[in-house]
Structure 1
Amino acid sequence: MMEMIQDCDAEFHAPDKDKLNWAETNFFGFYNAEEKLNVGVYALFRTNLRTVNSTICMNSGFAAAPWQADYVDYQSVIPMPEGCSLLDYTLANGLSVRCVEPNMVWEIRFDDGEGTAIDVTYRSLMPAFDIHDPQMDPMVGAHAGKFAWGTAYNGHFDQTGHFVGTVTLRGKRIPIDCISTMDHSWGPRPERGAPNMSWLHAHFSKDLAVHAIFSFDPEQNARDLSLTHGYVVERGEVFGLKAGHGHTVRLRDRFADQVELELTDRTGRVWKLAAKGLTTFPWQCWANMVAFNVLARWEMDGQTGYGEIQDFFELPQLTRLNAQDATRVVAAA
């Protein structure tokens, strides 16, 4: 397992040949805070199967089902183009991604041919944060720091940057100029058995942003969050988090309505921040998995920021939890 992200990590990694479920991903999430429009561009490559799962999602309201969002296109078996490179690819769903500078600058384009399009450029504000590098991530030596989302994050980095461009939603042009966080991961990714995860971030300016990954117990309604990885990026310098916890107040269907975090970085500074959910959207990122996504407004030390909260549950788990909830309601009646 490489302990430092290199330029070559922007390209596909050699998959474990005996793992048909090997996956390599790009996720680019960005938003227009005034419009409350949250946009997610995702590509999951099953390189041993030569297929791609790609989702393009746009949402500005309280969607309880995918079809209630502003725009959704889910395609799970797109053929990988011959000679496909993660540095420059175009998929049959209309998505094109070009890495202009390895792990630093990407161009993201999408056109569905029916009036919805994306044209944005991402420029990093920091080095890629490798969750397996003890020099970057103080949690690596701790039990929680071994969290790799099962094996899906055997290789993984998060990175905060500046997205600029436009989204066209059925002919309406919406400007994009925001600080947000992308990620890239690789490893075996089964469609059953992944632990629960809360992946979230808060962006206050080009000079200050927070990103963190938490685990949680779904049996406790996923209220209490335990830090597994994360960082504060301040004026381009990355401060890995060495401790932290949080508490989530959830709406029905498990969307985060309010979140409170207390985080300690590697220098011992404590960061306290709180979020209020502005949107909801159930992102079915791949088969059997739902991320309860929220665009949130964050407050920290008098500063206001924005960022996404993604809380991941598997569908078999959700059906079991919902059955338990129904039983409790009947028992209390």
Structure 2
Amino acid sequence: MEPVDLEFTAIRSAEKGFAAFHRQPRGDVPIGHIDQTFHVTGSIQLDKETIAVDCLSNHDHSWSPRAEFRSGCGTFDEFHFGNELTLLAQTVQRTPGAADVTNGYVLVGDDLRRIKKASVEFDQIGYRTKALIYNVTDWTGESYTLTATVASSVTQDQGSNGLTVMNLCEAQWNGRVGVAESMWHWDIPEIQRRIRAARAVPGNEALSTEQALAWNWERHTA
């Protein structure tokens, strides 16, 4: 598919998504962001083992220059069911277990469709996600319910004071099995502040990082 910009992916009535994509530039330097789904083939060699690759994935590209700081809490999610269906979504999360879907698209075969409305729920504790479920309606009126269970995850400092948790998921839709990725992110100084605040409460001193964040987040929105 051809790349699409934030104007195409924006869901009407939804708020703006990931802050770094939407901040207004200083001066006359342009900013932008595009997304697209593509078919990947090739191979990866790990030591003496060669692994064939044949899958669908998402590509995005942003340009500014921009300063990424005070990143809000949210996710970048994608579901792939062969060449039949792809969902791309961007969310803003303020409370545990739920988020507002701000941007996205549905790709049905070669037919690229805007999203009319979408909702998502997460099964998570702190920054650890166990499962998620999307309910989506595109502009043709077709609806989809997509679920995913996290199979593995990697946590990293993305290099701009943001924590990123990349979740690889087993996905299901309409009896079909696919793959999904859910990339959760939040500002590291804000996460650290909330963990300290939770552990300062008597009886909470031994809370793990995930438990402390979950305890604070349940009582104070993002």
Q: Provide TM-score, normalisation by structure 2.
A: 0.81
Question: Which of 5, 9, 19 is the matching residue for 1:150?
Answer: 19
2:72 corresponds in structure 1 to: 195
Q: Partners of 2:200 and 2:139 in 1: how far apart?
A: 45
Distance 1:328 1:224 in 2: 26
Q: 1:173-322 alignment to 2 at 5 Å?
A: 173-217=50-94, 220-221=95-96, 223-251=97-125, 254-322=127-195
Cα 1:320–1:303, aligned 2, differ >3 Å: closer, same or farther? same
Counterparts of 1:70-85 in structure 2, within 5 Å, are none
**CA distance 1:269–1:287, change in 2 (3 Å):** same
- Name the CA distance, whole Å, in 2 between partners of 1:329 and 1:224: 28
CA drift of 1:174 comes to: 1.4
Could you tell me which runs of 5 or more consecutive residues in structure 1 were left unpaired when the two chains were aligned: 1-125
CA contact (8 A) 1:151 1:187 kept: no
Corresponding residue of 1:128: 3
Amino acid paired to 2:5: D
Structure 1 residue 208: Cα displacement: 1.3
Cα pair distance change 1:286/1:189, threshold 3 Å: farther
Say whether the 8 Å CA contact 1:130–1:156 is kept in structure 2.
Answer: yes
CA contact (8 A) 1:137 1:242 kept: no
Deviation at 1:193, TM superposition (A): 1.4
User: What secondary structure does 1:192 align onto?
Assistant: coil
Give the 3 Å change call, closer, same or farther, for CA 326–236 of structure 1 in structure 2.
same
Q: 1:172 to 1:158 in 2, by over 3 A?
A: same
In structure 1, the partner of 2:42 is 165
CA distance 1:168–1:244, change in 2 (3 Å): same
Q: 2:152 is paired with a residue of what secondary structure?
A: coil
For residue 210 of structure 2, what is the aligned residue in structure 1?
Answer: none
Q: 1:179 to 1:329 in 2, by over 3 A?
A: farther
Give per-residue Cα distances to partners, 1:221-256, cap 9 Å, x unaligned: 3x21111011110111111112111111124x5121
Going from structure 1 to structure 2, the CA distance change for 1:216 and 1:171 (only over 3 Å counts) comes to: same
Distance in 2 (CA, whole Å) between partners of 1:245 and 1:329 is 37
Q: Which runs of 5+ in 2 are unaligned?
A: 23-30, 207-222
Residues 12-161 of structure 1 aligned to structure 2 (within 5 Å): 126-132=1-7, 136-137=8-9, 139=11, 141-144=12-15, 146-147=16-17, 149-153=18-22, 154-161=31-38
Percent of paired sites with the same residue: 23
Please give the secondary structure, in 2, of the residue aligned with 1:319: helix
Seen in structure 2, the aligned counterparts of structure 1 residues 188 and 329 have a Cα distance that, compared at 3 Å, is farther
Instruction: Compare relative contact order (CA 8 Å, sep 6+) and give the higher one, 1 or 2.
Output: 2
The CA deviation at 1:279 is 0.6
Mapped to 2, the partners of 1:329 and 1:302 lie a distance apart of 48
The answer (yes or no) to whether the contact 1:244–1:263 under 8 Å persists in 2 is yes
1:173 CA displacement: 1.5
Length, aligned pairs only:
198
